[in-house]
Amino acid sequence: MKTALTFLGTGTSHGVPTVDCMMEGFVRCPKGVCQESAEDHRHRRLRSSLFVRYGETAVLIDATPDFREQMLTQNISRMDGVVITHKHVDHILGIPDLRSYSKARSEGLPIYGSSETIQAIRESFAYIFDPHTVVGGGIPRLHEEVVTEPFSVGEILFEPIRVEHGACRQCYGYRFNDIAYLPDMKAFYPGEEEKIRGVRLLIIDCLRTERPHSTHLILPEAIAIAQKAEAKNTLFTHMCHGIHYKHDQRYLFPNMDFAFDGLSLEV
């Protein structure tokens, strides 16, 4: 049985095009990615998120500020759980709109993440978890699950992969069904890199092609990880306007490519 993936967003916290690049008087991005976004749909990047289907199970990975638009664009009508990579707002700000997917679940829609991530969600959306809040159509019913070890959502087994990402102490990527999803990272915690060895598909952070970043991988670093892991295929995500689909293909090996919003594939 194959795993169906849909890239709901492949951009950074700024999205692409960025507001800065489209405002008069601001410096334009050097590769012209933002300016070309009207002609090339691949250069329009919502915040990074992935939708996974396997058998009868449907899982969302990360609920972004673009959640509503992503759900409507891809016509997603149901989900069995939400897996969160880390606490940054570009990965959790869509959580209030999960209300549309929790209505039919009396026990609440399960949401999975590290203790740091779940705590940040509870603090950011305290009204959702306040027992005195009057439950109505505007309040999602969520059931939080703190995870440190492999866990199952329906038919899918997820294995957390702990990675370094700025001030986040518990940022995760996940391996599932011979796929590894690592949208935000700078490095692996000791021993965690082995969890992606030999995966059929590696989906990994790739902020831009040059100028190292303190909390994200750039293209040469991401390529090196993919090669060391002996990943069968690699797709790059979480890209800023420093990635140009046509011009930057020259850096890639045949089993690598840049993902884009709306890309759907089966693994």
3-state secondary structure 80-130: CEEECCCCCHHHHCCHHHHHHHHCCCCCCEEEEECHHHHHHHHHHCHHHHC
pLDDT > 70? residue 262:
yes
Question: Residues of the chain with pLDDT > 70: what percent?
Answer: 97
User: Which residue has tokens 């082995």?
Assistant: 194
Rounded Cα distance, 165 and 40, in Å: 30
**pLDDT over 80 (residue 24):** no
Residue 206 pLDDT > 70, yes or no?
yes
In the block, which residue shows the tokens 């795993």?
3
Please, which pLDDT band fits residue 130 given cuts at 50, 70 and 90?
confident
Domain that holds residue 221: 4-266
Backbone φ and ψ for 59, nearest 5 degrees, come out as -130, 135
Instruction: Give the CA count within 13 Å in the CB-facing half-sphere of 225.
Output: 30
Report whether 260 contacts 45 (CB < 8 A).
Answer: yes
160 three-class SS? strand
pLDDT at residue 134, as a whole number: 64
Report the alpha-carbon distance of residue 83 to residue 114 in Å, rounded: 10
Instruction: Supply the pTM of this predicted model.
Output: 0.96
pLDDT for 188 beyond 70: yes
- Number of neighbouring beta carbons within 10 Å of residue 261: 25
Is the per-residue pLDDT at 35 higher than 70? yes
Residues 6+ apart with CB under 8 A from 23: none
| DSSP-assigned letter for residue 27 | P
Residue 132 has what pLDDT? 77
Partners of residue 236 on adjacent β-strands: 204, 258
Over residues 85-98, mean pLDDT: 97
Read off the CATH number of the domain in which 82 is found. 3.60.15.10
Distance CA 196, CA 198 (A): 6
Buried b (16+ CB within 10 A) or exposed e, 59-78: bbbbbbbbbeebbeeeebee
Two tokens at 84?
């969160």
Euclidean distance between CA atoms 148 and 161, whole angstroms: 9
Closest CA to 3 of 169, 183, 158, 186: 158
The number of domains in the chain is 1
